[in-house]
Amino acid sequence: MAKKNDFFKPDTTEEEKFLEKSLRPINFSEYIGQEELIKNLKIAIYSAQKRKKPLDHILFYGPPGLGKTSLSILIAREMGVSIKITSGVAIDKKGDMAAILTNLNEGDILFIDEIHRLPSSLEEILYPAMEDFQIDIVIGEGPGAKTIRLEIPHFTLIGATTRIGLLTPPLRARFGMVEKLNFYSVKELGEIIKQSSEKLGVSITEEGALEIAKRSRGIPRIANRLLKRVRDLAVVEDKKEIDEVLAKKMFELLKIDENGIDMTLKDFLVTIIEKFNGGPVGLKTLTAITGEERDTIEDIYEPFLMQLGLIERTPRGRIVTEKGYRYLGYKKGKKLF
């Protein structure tokens, strides 16, 4: 198996977390792209401000790294309220959820990442909380147990999910705004890369930025990570500026082609072609054979490969398209189909 680059994985090291934080847009003018969504959000924000009411609950969905967390932080800043950031995998006890909700202040934002992973018992606490700003707490145990209803501050829930389809209908119905984040164009990613370079204190040419943008799979988080790798090479080679030549050199070392396909993705496609004659192959089999997690395949690999037209999802499973075969230098020969 080839060495993995894993640019798409969530931040794990302290350095990665720091980088992510330091490059986050600090105001709406630094938040590039997603124009339609930003327009709608601004209307909602200014209306809430004029009415002196908290914002409606918002659900953001789309693949990881597209800017859901960043946008939520910006909304809080614009509204002048605090934001509490948590995740559907981080809370597992009813008491924890109740504590989070009762500790919010009027107008605060509660951001729950990966909200589709929230256990259903906790989801049920959210229903009255979102609708009536009340929660039910059980005191005591057994026959003597009593339920009391507590008022909680009027807050705004912002949920983020990579899997809108996994959200239960009652939870989804309680969001006033449901907004999709789209992949970014190369031009937009180029802007993000130039902005990040400035924050990192490194100069970059237009062509250098576009070279990185092309390989970023439409995702700002990947753009920032690739930029950092190219910046490392610039430092090592004593280059004052990142240009096209330097960027290309780094991508050759990283084995990332001009569409952002790395060895991990190539292996993934080759497995479907060689082991399953190009498919169709089910997700379960793919996770078993590639050793990748289901979420990684569904949230990260597939949307990107489908966007490039290299695979298709059919009711019987995934298939590599003719374009996919050609891309990898295979012929759509008899044996393969």
**Catalytic site residues?**
68-69, 113, 162, 221
Q: How far is the CB of 32 from ligand ADP (least distance, A)?
A: 4
Segment lying near ligand ADP (by CB under 6 A), choices 24-32, 200-208, 279-287, 316-324: 24-32
Burial class (CB in 10 A: 0-12, 13-18, 19+), 239: middle
Binding status of residue 54 toward ligand ADP by CB under 6 A: no
What is the C-alpha separation between 194 and 191, in angstroms, rounded? 5
Q: Is 69 in the site for ligand ADP (CB under 6 A)?
A: yes
| CB atoms inside a 10 Å sphere around CB 60 | 27
The minimum distance between CB 34 and ligand ADP, in angstroms, equals: 6
Residue 88 interacting with ligand ADP (CB under 6 A): no
Distance, CA of 87 to CA of 161 (rounded, Å) = 10
The one segment of 23-31, 40-48, 125-133, 143-151 that binds ligand ADP by CB under 6 A: 23-31
Distance CA 89, CA 323 (A): 38
Contact 237, 264 (CB under 8 A): no
Instruction: Pick one of 5, 7, 23, 110: the residue that binds ligand ADP (CB under 6 A).
Output: 23
Pick the piece of the chain touching ligand ADP (CB under 6 A) from 1-9, 21-29, 83-91, 163-171. 21-29
Is 189 or 256 the residue whose CB approaches ligand ADP more closely? 189
Asked if residue 130 binds ligand ADP (CB under 6 A), the reply is no
DSSP one-letter string for 74-127: HHHHHHT--EEEEETTT---HHHHHHHHHTPPTT-EEEEETGGGS-HHHHHHHH
Binding span for ligand ADP by CB under 6 A among 43-51, 64-72, 209-217, 271-279: 64-72
CB 127 within 8 Å of CB 174: yes
For ligand ADP, which residue of 54, 67, 218, 260 counts as binding (CB under 6 A)? 67
- Between CA 31 and CA 25 the distance in angstroms is 5
Q: Choose among 234, 232, 310, 317: nearest CA to 282.
A: 317
Closest CB to ligand ADP among residues 156, 224: 224
Residue 190 within binding range of ligand ADP, rule CB under 6 A: no
Contact residues for ligand ADP, defined by CB under 6 A: 20, 23-25, 31-34, 64-70, 160, 192, 220-221, 224
